[in-house]
Structure 1
Amino acid sequence: MAAKNINEEIIEELYSEALVLADDARAAFDLSFNENQSNADDLTRVALSIEGLRTTTRVMHVLAWLLNQRAYFAGELSRQQLERCGTLPEERAADADNLQRLEPETRALIEETERLHARVARLDRDWRATGEEATPVASLQGRIAQAFAIG
């Protein structure tokens, strides 16, 4: 079973939020239609490209994690499959120097995707922690550690 703090409703709400952010990121970082950046210097365009890639990758990782959770709740993935394939990759935070070159709206979007990733990462850690405790070996290791006051 999934962790107590993860349920289908939470996953669906996060999924909807991630889809909106993905669409917003696509619009914000679409360089071919970004008229506001046409007057920007080369370093600003490079910063926009780098942070655009980081932001869209971050959102896609979150969406992939959420899709795996949805598949698990739908019975399409077993817990073992989810544990093996459903890990949320580590966050690659935005570069502060790049952020200084971007417009406030773009920075706000990047920060919003970072907050979403952090929330999903907490869910992933909690879910994995409950999964480890559920195994007999982990349970025995925990009892041994308590008996010998380890860690």
Structure 2
Amino acid sequence: MALMPSLNPRIVEALYAEALVLADEVRQQFEQARRDAVDECEAADDLSNVALSCEALRTTTRVMHCLAWLLNHRAYFAGELSELQLRRHGRLIANMPPSEPDNVAMLSPRVQQLVSESERLYERIERLENAWRGEVPEGPTAIERLRQRLAASMGA
């Protein structure tokens, strides 16, 4: 577990707690926005309903990807995943599509704020991911070890 000096369990736990709170708030606020749209007879406004649905999906997906990444790292720090498993299966999805400004502009100020918070959380985790992926593992790779063994067996 010494290969992650830029990432430690406290950082992961703090981000995980933040992401859980954000996920719950996002769910509540988007659900309330849907109820408000129906109550105010805005159901006829198809464009705002589509914008709300699209941004709800983007925002919740973004937060869920953050949570998945954090859960994988929690499992690693708890000894439930090896570094190899984490490097293979614990990747953050690349190129998460950003929210569409025109859609976000149709949302309430509180929902707009949550969309922005989800984007900032994703960007923070993406920076951690990139820094962690940029770290070079100690020692030779499996291919280098195989080449060394082949060279040794051939007397080279």
Say yes or no: TM over 0.5: yes
> Within the alignment, does 1:61 sit opposite 2:62 as a pair?
no
Matched position secondary structure for 2:6: coil
Say which one has the larger Rg.
2
- Bigger shift: residues 37-46 or 118-127: 37-46
Question: Which residue identity lines up with residue 127 of structure 1 in the other structure?
Answer: W
Between the aligned partners of 1:27 and 1:2, the Cα distance in structure 2 is 38
Between the aligned partners of 1:22 and 1:123, the Cα distance in structure 2 is 20
Contact 1:26/1:56 (8 A) holds in 2 = yes
The aligned counterpart of 1:17 is 18
1:135 offset after TM fit, Å?
5.0
1:133 offset after TM fit, Å?
4.9
Q: Over aligned residue pairs, what C-alpha RMSD do you find? A: 1.7
Identity among equivalent pairs (%): 49
Which structure 1 residue ranges, 4+ long, deviate > 6 Å from structure 2? none
The alignment's TM-score, normalised by the length of structure 2, stands at 0.81
Contact 1:3/1:126 (8 A) holds in 2 = no
1:43 offset after TM fit, Å?
0.8
Between the aligned partners of 2:125 and 2:20, the Cα distance in structure 1 is 14
Stretches of structure 1 that go unaligned for 5 or more consecutive residues are 141-151
Question: How many equivalent pairs are there?
Answer: 136
The alignment's TM-score, normalised by the length of structure 1, stands at 0.83
